[in-house]
Structure 1
Amino acid sequence: MISTLFIFLSLIVIFPAWLLAAPTAIVGARLIDGNGKKPRSGITILIENDRIVSVGNKVKVPKNTKIIDARNKFVVPGLVDAHVHVMGDGSYIDNMVSDNPKVREAMERIIRQAPYQLSRYLCAGVTRALDIGAPNVMFKLRDDSRNNPRSPTIYTSGLMVSTLPSIYNITMPHDMPIAYLSRTSEQALNAIESLIPYRPDFIKFQLIAWDDGLDPNMPPDELLKVQKGLIEKYSPAISTGITATHRRGMKALVHAMELATHKAVAKLGADAIMHGVFDLPVDQELINILKQKSVTYVPTISVADRMEQVMNYPPHLDFLPIEKECASVGTLNSFKDVPKGSKNPVPFDLKIARQNLKALSDAGVKIAMGTDSGNFGVLAGASVHKEMLEMVNAGMSPMQVIVSATKNAADLVTDKPDFGTIEAGKKADILVLDADPVKDIGNLAKIKLVIKNGNVFERSEFVNERPSGYESQ
């Protein structure tokens, strides 16, 4: 079955069009380069093959160059979503457990429709995405994305290294697990060794201050004691895993959602924490640890908000226009299946999450934008626009959010990424916008052109696109 799946996924490989392309010049643009610098006007960006070769006011444009007139337009780097799950499209599925046929059917559909699923990211201006936890078949999809101009470039961890049995016990189609259960140092080392042949781009860890069978309604003081005990019990495994990851030259991206687990994993050497703090206000101790150890904070506010919107009947989803344009009919219709009377079993404190993001950003902690897309209501690709709006509403400036969604997110893959900013030598991942995103972050959705590895697309090509066989969804 796995070999059949690999053969199918190989069909999405498309010959790189940029190998035969003439140079392209974006002329007259107002440039927002992703570094946080003041925007510059009248800029020319010269692209050859898949790279930016020159940026400035006096760029010499060769003959036979394709000209993109960007006067009165705004140019930003392609967006980078630092937390996605490509194997999910954001649809609602009742009872999300591994033996539910609906779960397997949904995953099989996404695999069958891989080219369409991946193009949803370009529809929203997302040219790179970090898949943080997936069955190891994701490595094949990642490799194919490198030669598919209608796909974002995917980076992935493959299976997660998790301390929670219920995560370990979830299986996807073809009996593919999504995590290695790693509660001891030996288990963590074995998990990493099992991943190495796939060439992961980073390793995803989960330090879960929870255990199967616990009562989510226990008194707060008792809950904090339980969390402390679980953190002490499983920290050695995570510490060993992070050390082994760094020894291999990779970054350790860690799931944590509570104040206590954030402090623990930051002390253990996490390079980034892939969720915000949702339970308590952040304190100076956490701020100091994150800054001293250069830990990046990925708030993922929108996933908590959308889970609240979906799970508390009746659903009251506030999808943005770009989300509706890029989503499939099947995904949008799935929310009609939310059972009457349903309640979110694990409510998040969104007010605290927003206040925490503001406090950490003001303190100078490095922030990267990530959505946790693939979860209920967090749509593939376009959910970045919901997340960026949340970040501005929490108190970050539009320019800070742009940097978080480009340069800072790119830095999670490697210390010297060749993408994420508009500079000579970087990959030609560029968005041409009709309005100024520095004045209004919502203008990042007003995309005229998407340029991916030098390939130029009108965003309208992706709008309301439908996968084959969608009528039956």
Structure 2
Amino acid sequence: MTKLGVNRREFMSWMSRSGVALAAAGGLWPALAGSAGADTVQVTVLRGATLIDATGAAPCPDSTVVLVADRIVAIGGAGLAAPAGARIIDLRGKYLVPGFWDMHTHLMQLRTIVPKSHIVYGVTGVREMWGLPESHQARRDFEAGTALGPRMVIGSAIIDGPASFYGRGMLIVRTEAEARAAVRAEHAKGAEFVKVYQMLTPELLTAIADEAEKLGLRIAGHLADFVPVDAALVLRQKSYEHMFGFLFSTSREEAEYRRKIAELPFDPAASYPWFRAVRELERQAGDSFSPAKAVALARKMRERDGWLSPTLRVLHMVTSPKETFAGDERMKYLPPFYKEYWANGAAGWAPVTPEQIARQREFYERQLRLVGILHKAGVGVIGGTDCGNPYCFPGSGLHDELERMVAAGLSPMAALQTVTRDAARHVGLASEVGTVSVGKKADLVVLDADPLASIANTRRIHSVVSRGRVFGPADRVRLLAEIERAALEFQPPTTAARSAAVVMPGSCC
């Protein structure tokens, strides 16, 4: 249905007599000013859905939500009259929730595939965890309206050192001066936070934290294996990805495992075996889990505003037999070479023997339970997929993550909030996105079934609203067809030419 124009004067009159909470000047007036046409505004009315605003309030049946351009300007019940000339969308029997945020993404550089994949599955915002030049260009295009894609918060290039188990395309720092210079350089390029990695020493992380604080940047990323969680919290690291290190910090025998890590043979020129050896020690540390230490860790995280970004889908992948996900029908939405690429990446981690499979399943279940324990104890949890890693799909993968969150013990509402309200809080955008509230950006998802009855219902998407633009059922079918076609047409680089700009490692990033 084509949007209709609403006369501005009539719209202002409608505002004054509506009797509902309307957008404050900071939200409504930019929407009006940005509307097309000198004398009209573009108004969309979403009528009849049950509103789940993600604040924690009870669902509101038969709601009416009024949008002007990319802002929510009014919320009311069935009795809220629509302005004359508005586009009215009947959503009776549907459920309206905020747009989702994937808080750990990559691969925005696959411009014909990944951005649309996010939007079509309701992901209207992302935290991009590797600040490549292509990511910044993508955001400029999305904000300008010249390309379709989610809102973006973009980190620095990944900083690691004095070595790295991955290495390719990363910033390797070996001295405190190099660490400080790397932070300054990434800030100059537009990074909104500093992404840190696995092998940083306490001295290097301290230098990064000090320089980041001077520049007003947060720190996010992997917990370095040489740095306990409580020490990283003191250094103001704000988010912790993939659960790395958390079973050490909740072990009754933590000191013994720290000693073992320090004694592991370490070759900077071939550091991957060291990294894998630490992961095996971490699996073993789960045998001596201490509930009391978990509670103490949760208290420290609350006090220091530390957030957990567990990326449960990727943790499930790396602890599962290699054939577990290989037949996923969503592979058709990625270039054909990803079938082999992801299979090889998964095989590098996959348990093989029955004994290995049982041990890794137990390891994953322990990580899952720890997420639930920390969340129950008040630690902020944010949902992210690490898309780009094997079988971590852009867009649709967020629904896998939500189901894993519920499996960890979160309620459906709490899981939903990890990718809406709490995601927005973490990136400092709570006044703009994250809940369905007057004055906020018009990023919304319409579902065919109640996500609070079953979190799996977030997959049952009817429509998506991104930046005020409504993508209905026919639009979503069209977008999926475009993604599938773009995937088939994608020309993969040669093996020698593959870089971080196109592919991801076969492990957490």
- TM-score range (shorter-chain normalised) is 0.7 to 0.9
Contact 1:134–1:159 under 8 Å retained in 2: yes
TM superposition score normalised by structure 1: 0.76
Look up the SS of the partner of 1:252 in the other structure. Answer: strand
Contact 1:85–1:134 under 8 Å retained in 2: no
Task: Identify the match of residue 389 of structure 1 among 396, 400, 403.
Answer: 403
Look up the SS of the partner of 1:451 in the other structure. Answer: strand
In the TM superposition, residue 26 of structure 1 has moved relative to its aligned partner by 0.6
> Using the alignment, how far apart are the partners of 2:172 and 2:217 within structure 1?
20
In terms of mean alpha carbon deviation, does 454-463 or 341-350 score higher?
Answer: 341-350
> Using the alignment, how far apart are the partners of 2:424 and 2:132 within structure 1?
23
State the match for 1:246 in structure 2.
Answer: 213
Contact 1:168–1:181 under 8 Å retained in 2: no
> Using the alignment, how far apart are the partners of 1:318 and 1:337 within structure 2?
7
Task: Identify the match of residue 268 of structure 1 among 204, 213, 235.
Answer: 235
> Using the alignment, how far apart are the partners of 1:467 and 1:139 within structure 2?
25
In terms of mean alpha carbon deviation, does 256-265 or 285-294 score higher?
Answer: 256-265
Equivalence map 1:360-379=2 (5 Å):
360-379=374-393
Structure 2 residue 344 is matched with structure 1 residue 344: no
> Using the alignment, how far apart are the partners of 2:81 and 2:433 within structure 1?
23
Larger Rg: 2
Report the CA distance shift for 1:114/1:340 in structure 2 as closer, same or farther (over 3 A). Answer: closer
Aligned letter for 2:187? I
State the match for 2:456 in structure 1.
Answer: 442
State the match for 1:426 in structure 2.
Answer: 440
Report the CA distance shift for 1:402/1:336 in structure 2 as closer, same or farther (over 3 A). Answer: closer
Structure 2 residue 466 is matched with structure 1 residue 452: yes
In the TM superposition, residue 139 of structure 1 has moved relative to its aligned partner by 1.6
Structure 2 residue 478 is matched with structure 1 residue 461: yes
State the match for 2:334 in structure 1.
Answer: 328
State the match for 2:319 in structure 1.
Answer: 308
State the match for 2:488 in structure 1.
Answer: 470
Look up the SS of the partner of 1:372 in the other structure. Answer: coil
In the TM superposition, residue 56 of structure 1 has moved relative to its aligned partner by 2.0
Aligned letter for 2:488? Y
State the match for 1:76 in structure 2.
Answer: 97
Q: CA RMSD in A?
A: 2.9
Contact 2:421–2:430 under 8 Å retained in 1: no
State the match for 2:302 in structure 1.
Answer: 291
State the match for 1:197 in structure 2.
Answer: 188
Residue identity (%) = 25
Report the CA distance shift for 1:341/1:272 in structure 2 as closer, same or farther (over 3 A). Answer: closer
Report the CA distance shift for 1:71/1:258 in structure 2 as closer, same or farther (over 3 A). Answer: farther
Aligned letter for 1:161? I
Aligned letter for 1:384? L
TM superposition score normalised by structure 2: 0.71
State the match for 2:111 in structure 1.
Answer: 114
Contact 2:50–2:60 under 8 Å retained in 1: yes
In the TM superposition, residue 332 of structure 1 has moved relative to its aligned partner by 6.7
Contact 2:346–2:390 under 8 Å retained in 1: no
Report the CA distance shift for 1:434/1:251 in structure 2 as closer, same or farther (over 3 A). Answer: same
Contact 1:297–1:365 under 8 Å retained in 2: yes
State the match for 1:138 in structure 2.
Answer: 135
In terms of mean alpha carbon deviation, does 366-375 or 269-278 score higher?
Answer: 269-278
> Using the alignment, how far apart are the partners of 1:38 and 1:319 within structure 2?
39
In the TM superposition, residue 161 of structure 1 has moved relative to its aligned partner by 1.9
Cα shift readout 1:422-472 (whole Å, capped 9, x = no counterpart): 111111000011000001000001000010010000233333432447157
Report the CA distance shift for 1:267/1:136 in structure 2 as closer, same or farther (over 3 A). Answer: same
Contact 1:162–1:168 under 8 Å retained in 2: no
Contact 2:387–2:393 under 8 Å retained in 1: yes
Contact 1:79–1:127 under 8 Å retained in 2: yes
In terms of mean alpha carbon deviation, does 237-246 or 434-443 score higher?
Answer: 237-246
Structure 2 residue 148 is matched with structure 1 residue 150: yes
Contact 2:112–2:486 under 8 Å retained in 1: no
Task: Identify the match of residue 85 of structure 1 among 87, 106, 113.
Answer: 106
Report the CA distance shift for 1:342/1:161 in structure 2 as closer, same or farther (over 3 A). Answer: closer
Structure 2 residue 82 is matched with structure 1 residue 61: yes
Report the CA distance shift for 1:463/1:164 in structure 2 as closer, same or farther (over 3 A). Answer: farther
Task: Identify the match of residue 185 of structure 1 among 160, 170, 176.
Answer: 176
State the match for 1:214 in structure 2.
Answer: none
Look up the SS of the partner of 2:49 in the other structure. Answer: strand
State the match for 2:167 in structure 1.
Answer: 169
Look up the SS of the partner of 1:196 in the other structure. Answer: helix
Gaps of 5+ in 1: 1-16, 88-110, 171-176, 211-229
Gaps of 5+ in 2: 1-33, 248-281, 492-509
